[in-house]
Amino acid sequence: MRIAALLLVAASSAAGGGAADHTFEKTMPLPRTGHTPLHWAVNGCSIVAVSLQNHPSAEDVDKARHKDPDDKSWLWWNFAVENRGGEKCRIQLWVDIYDRAGKVVKSGDRSDTVDAHKLDDNIRVSTRMRTLDIADSPKAHIKAVIGPK
pLDDT at 21: 93
3-state secondary structure the chain: CHHHHHHHHHHHHHHCCCCCCEEEEEEEECCCCCEEEEEEEECCEEEEEEEEECCCCHHHHHHHHHCCCCCEEEEEEEEEEEECCCCCEEEEEEEEEECCCCCEEEEEEEEEEECCCEEEEEEEEEEEEEHHHHHHCCEEEEEEEEEEC
Q: Would you write out the chain's pLDDT as a tens digit for each of its 149 residues?
A: 444 333 333 333 333 445 689 999 999 999 888 899 999 999 999 999 999 999 999 999 999 999 999 999 999 999 999 999 999 999 999 999 999 999 999 999 999 999 999 999 999 999 999 999 999 999 999 999 999 98
pLDDT at 119: 94
The correct CATH number of 19-148 out of 3.40.50, 3.40.630, 1.10.1660, 2.60.40 is 2.60.40
Instruction: Give per-residue pLDDT as tens, 23-48.
Output: 999 999 998 888 999 999 999 999 99
How many C-beta neighbours within 10 Å does residue 116 have? 14
Q: How far is CA 30 from the centre of its chain?
A: 12
pLDDT at 9: 35
